[in-house]
A = this chain, B = another copy of it.
Amino acid sequence: MGEQTEILQGTLDLLILKALNLEPLHGLGISRRIEQVTAGAFQVKPGSLFPALHRMEEQGWLSSSWGESENRRKAKYYKITAVGRRQLDKERQRWIRISFAIGQMLESN
């Protein structure tokens, strides 16, 4: 694994969906949002982010449209869909189940 592997594999979709649940963002905006909210614990690199966005769009969880960034740059904005919101809920529940289970495991003496 890489040196700074901080991303918990399998939770990237959850993080992205959650980031977009409030408002549409462009790619790097999503990355910044995640890094900001988690106080730097997750650093989503482009090589992880964009394949994930494409995959999620293909599955109908996101839709995208070209626009302009805060800095007047060309930027593709991603928006969560209704299907994506259902998926967010699924992944949220999955996370709760998993973190509870691991908690049980760690607390078992």
Contacts and interface: CB of A to CB of B under 8 A. Distances in A.
Q: State the main secondary structure of chain A at its contact with B.
A: helix
A14 B97 CA distance: 17
A104 B8 contact: no
How many copies the complex holds: the figure is 2
Contacts of A105: 14-15, 18-19, 34, 37-38
Contacts of A98: 6, 8, 11, 41
A9 interface: yes
A102 B14 contact: yes
30 contacts: A6-B97, A6-B98, A8-B8, A8-B9, A8-B10, A8-B11, A8-B102, A9-B10, A10-B10, A11-B98, A11-B102, A14-B105, A18-B105, A18-B106, A19-B105, A37-B105, A37-B108, A38-B101, A38-B102, A38-B104, A39-B101, A39-B104, A41-B98, A41-B100, A41-B101, A42-B101, A95-B102, A95-B106, A99-B99, A99-B102
